Chain A
Amino acid sequence: MNSFRLKIVSPDGCLFEGDAELLTLRTTQGEVTILANHTEYLASIGMGRATVVTEAGRRTAACIGGMLMAAGNRVDVVATTFEWKEDLDADRAMAALKEAEEQLAAGGLDETRRKIVESKKRRAEVRLSVVRAE
């Protein structure tokens, strides 16, 4: 299968650099799949599961926020959070989800604080969905 050059970075450093055959992830507009020789393309990343298929196999990750650029058979993913499934901690995500839910249920948070807690909750949900998927 044709491959393209893929680079994935997040503030934690470089998480992937090499040839890939397929990349699927969730943009703010919905799920997209990128194959080799994609046209010049730009998208902002939403929250969801990302899948990378290379010669070595298939890997999934939780990918939240950032941007995706395809140009000249090269794809750059600049993500806010990008964590491979094997690096995710289900218990920690579960605890974070529970804590966020409790905080939201208790109420009494101001506007900004509530937004922060809500996005924490959504992040935990994304992580859990990635860990629990087959």
Chain B
Amino acid sequence: MAGVSTKAIKARMRSMESTRQITKAMELVAASKLRGAQMRALNNRTYFGTLFEVMDMISRSSIDFRSPFLTPGKGARPLYIVIAGDRGMAGGYNNNIFRFVMATLTEDALIFPLGKKTAEYFRRSKWECVSDSIPVADLTVGSCFSIARMICDWFLEGRFSSVTIAYTELVSLLTQTPKQTGLLPLTFEAAEPEGRHRTQFLYEGGDVHVFENIVPEYMAGVIYCAVKEAFASEQAARRTAMDAASKNADEMISKLNLDYNRARQAAITQEITEIVAGSEK
């Protein structure tokens, strides 16, 4: 009986070791991807910060023109752009963002999925998606601009009432929080008290022309930054999860090792007992 047991333990140890090898490899891959992704996310924040400042200045200037981007869309349904990962094995990364979005999602919402897992999840739970799944890893600046332009065109056609984006923000390497922001219609803070001087911008080629060119640019900037944040968050989440998995595997292996030695010792003791018992006769 003891012989079978040592063999069984040995087999479990071997399988545990190969699992550990996989989790360790995934951790290392995530860590190396994370370095680049984190840098890109940080570079993006500079860009986004300035972009936001410009939009803020515009919003505080006197806007005496009408633009369809400033009023709710003619459509009846809200659109949610949801960004999650292409793959699992990243701890709670994908589920956290889905749960977060589900909390605010209305029955008639449309989904624009970014990331294979997002498309899978929302298809399975029967939400209507407006596009096929787009892998997050291959999203370039250019494709974000095409997506933004497409969404703006759809918004102008009256397909949606509003556009919201949901992604995971990289707070630190150990913390990532899901976040969502409204994109369209652009909501500017309430007008400042009357009488205060408001900047009057000179628009090259007419205010509406400039404004309607700027909005898709702004959208694209936000989408691109969100994608980069989300990608960095995914790598950070995967690294943490795989690190924990490797540690668990280590713990399990050392416990199994102990069990194995104990079983082996038991087998030896039993054998000796048997031999001694035999010679006494």
List residues of A whose CB falls within 8 A of some B CB: 7, 9-14, 27-29, 32, 39-44, 65-67, 69, 71, 76, 78, 80-81, 112, 115-116, 119-120
The chain B residues found within 8 Å of chain A, CB to CB, are 43-44, 46-47, 50-51, 53-54, 57-58, 61, 141-142, 145-146, 150, 199-205, 209-210, 213-214, 217, 220-221, 224-225
Complex CA distance for A10 and B61, rounded to whole angstroms: 24
Min Cβ gap B188→A in Å is 15
B220–A80 touching, CB < 8 Å: yes
Chain B CB within 10 Å, residue with most, of A42, A119, A120: A42
Contact A78 B44 (CB under 8 A): no
Q: Bound state CA distance, A4 and B141, in angstroms?
A: 29
The reply to whether B214 and A27 form a contact with Cβ atoms under 8 Å apart is no
Q: Which residue of B lies closest to A78 (CB)?
A: B51
Distance, CA A112 to CA B202, complexed state (A)? 34
Are A71 and B57 in contact, with the CB atoms below 8 A?
Answer: yes
Q: What is the bound-complex CA distance between A12 and B146, given in angstroms?
A: 18
CA distance A27 to B220 in the complex (A): 18
Known: A11-B221, A69-B54. A29 touches B201 (CB 8 A): no
Given contacts A13-B43, A65-B217, A78-B54, contact A39 B202 (CB under 8 A): yes
Answer whether A78 and B50 are a contact pair too, CB < 8 Å, given A11-B221, A11-B224: yes
By the criterion CB–CB under 8 Å, are A80 and B202 in contact?
no
CA distance A14 to B48 in the complex (A): 10
B200–A40 contact, CB under 8 A? yes
Q: Contact: B61 with A40, CB < 8 Å?
A: yes
Q: What are the residues of chain A within 8 A of B199 when measuring CB–CB?
A: 40, 71
| Alpha-carbon gap, A40 to B57, bound state (A) | 11
B200 & A44 in contact (Cβ 8 Å cutoff) = no
CB neighbours (8 Å) of A40 from chain B are 61, 199-202
